[in-house]
């Protein structure tokens, strides 16, 4: 009797463990028309990060669109490269789908030796594209980007610019601004955007370039937009193009499958993704999360990702960071 009850307790514990691991389990695939089985969205970032939250916002609707279960698997570590490497190794059957931000596919391959490259993947489509904005605190001595550039020319290496880590978009923005304007900003990397914004508000760094929605959220002033056109919310803030530099940058999240995945599977995924990004509930969630949905065709996204890849190589090469 006692033993029996004991075993029940054990079983209950295991049931709890199994339940908790449901979201991480690997699916077994059948050979029928795609998709006939659970699709795993592999996120190369930890649960709760920006990419993960975006993936979870599309997860239920994407499952409806595909007519199958969609689960999320987080494989984090080494700036997203561990999970991305796993996605590159996955069977090219469309059941393991990489959802990632730019870093692991378009930037990290230039910075270190990796078992994959952008060419290891077949692009599926873009989830979101959020414009970038160079921001300063409200009490900053710089009211325009021209003032900032002039001050930086007078005091080379003295004005501090934060980033969310080496090889992140905010870091690339510093490198691009340095190169374009012929200035030298002092770069201090922090672990993630939140840490960088904290130091911006606390006065440790003078400027930080990140998604434009952070500006109203933290009551920051925008100095420079990195989008192709001026931002609707900041009609007075010049773009890089206005300053005469042909540079465009934005935070994006995209979907990839391993290179050898059949074309029709990529097409099916692209269609389901784009329908998901038109769903009113998803649009509302994206608006709340300050993400701008940005559906593309496979070809558009392919060209976009490649251009991004080349741009970051150029920036990092000039900064002497390419390995």
Binding site for other proteins (CB under 8 A): 5-6, 9-10, 13, 16-17, 20-21, 23-24, 46-49, 52-53, 56-57, 59-60, 73-79, 81-83, 85, 108, 111-112, 114-115, 160, 165-167, 186-191, 194-195, 197-199, 201-204, 217-219, 285, 288-290, 321, 323
Nearer to other proteins, 87 or 240 (CB): 87
Smallest distance from other proteins to CB 208, Å: 13
Residue whose CB is less far from other proteins, 52 or 248: 52
> Are residues 299 and 317 in contact, defined by beta-carbon separation less than 8 angstroms?
no
How many other CB atoms sit within 10 Å of the CB of residue 192? 15
- Whether the ω angle into residue 35 lies within 30 degrees of 0, i.e. cis, is yes
C-alpha to C-alpha distance for 251 and 256, rounded to whole angstroms: 16
- Of the two residues 151 and 290, which places its CB atom closer to other proteins in the complex? 290
Spatial CA neighbour of 120 closest among 252, 256, 304: 256
Q: In 70-181, which ranges are E strands? A: 70-74, 96-101, 121-137, 160-163
Shorter beta-carbon distance to other proteins: residue 21 or 263: 21
Output b/e per residue, 142-160; b: 16+ Cβ within 10 A.
beebeebbeebeeeeeebb
Distances (CA, A) of 222 to 22, 28, 117, 128, 129: 43, 49, 34, 21, 18
> At closest approach, how far in Å is the CB of 261 from other proteins?
21
Q: Which is nearer to other proteins, 74 or 134 (CB)?
A: 74
State which residue, 160 or 297, has the beta carbon closest to other proteins: 160
What's the rounded Cα separation, in Å, for the pair 284 and 286?
Answer: 5
CA nearest to 41, candidates 70, 20, 61, 21: 70
Of 187 and 241, CB closest to other proteins: 187
Cβ 291 to other proteins shortest distance, Å: 11
The span from the CA of 102 to the CA of 250, in Å, is 9
d(CA 171, CA 100): 18
User: 81 vs 308, which CB is nearer to other proteins?
Assistant: 81
User: Which two tokens mark 94?
Assistant: 């469309």
DSSP string covering 214-239: HHHHTTEEEEEE-SSS--TT-TTSPB
Output the smallest distance, CB 312 to other proteins, in A. 13
Determine the Cα–Cα distance for residues 73 and 26; give it in Å rounded to an integer.
9
Rounded Cα distance, 215 and 130, in Å: 13
Nearer to other proteins, 299 or 318 (CB): 318
């Amino acid at each position: 009797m006692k033993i029996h009850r004991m075993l029940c307790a054990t079983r209950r514990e295991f049931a709890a463990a199994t339940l908790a691991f449901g979201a991480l389990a690997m699916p077994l695939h059948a050979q029928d028309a795609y998709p006939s089985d659970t699709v795993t969205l592999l996120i190369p970032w930890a649960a709760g990060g920006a990419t993960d939250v975006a993936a979870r916002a599309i997860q239920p609707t994407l499952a409806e669109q595909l007519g199958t279960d969609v689960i999320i698997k987080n494989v984090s570590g080494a700036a997203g490269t561990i999970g991305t490497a796993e996605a590159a190794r996955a069977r090219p059957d469309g059941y393991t789908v990489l959802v990632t931000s730019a870093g692991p596919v378009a930037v990290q391959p230039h910075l270190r030796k990796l078992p994959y490259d952008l060419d290891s993947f077949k692009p599926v489509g873009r989830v979101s594209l959020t414009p970038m904005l160079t921001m300063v605190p409200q009490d900053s001595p710089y009211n325009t980007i021209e003032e900032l550039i002039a001050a930086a020319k007078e005091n080379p290496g003295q004005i501090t610019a934060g980033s969310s880590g080496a090889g992140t978009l905010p870091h690339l923005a510093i490198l691009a601004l340095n190169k374009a304007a012929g200035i030298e900003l002092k770069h201090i990397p922090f672990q993630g955007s939140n840490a960088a914004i904290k130091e911006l508000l606390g006065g440790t760094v003078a400027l930080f370039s990140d998604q434009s929605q952070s500006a109203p959220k933290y009551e920051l002033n925008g100095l420079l937009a990195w989008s192709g056109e001026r931002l609707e919310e900041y009609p007075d803030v010049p773009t890089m193009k206005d300053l005469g530099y042909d540079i465009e940058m934005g935070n994006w999240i995209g979907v990839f499958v391993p290179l050898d995945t059949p074309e029709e599977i990529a097409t099916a995924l692209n269609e389901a993704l784009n329908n998901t990004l038109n769903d009113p509930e998803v649009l509302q969630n994206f608006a709340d999360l300050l993400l701008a949905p940005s559906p593309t065709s496979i070809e558009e996204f392919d060209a976009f990702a490649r251009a991004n890849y080349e741009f970051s190589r150029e920036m990092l090469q000039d900064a002497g960071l390419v390995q």
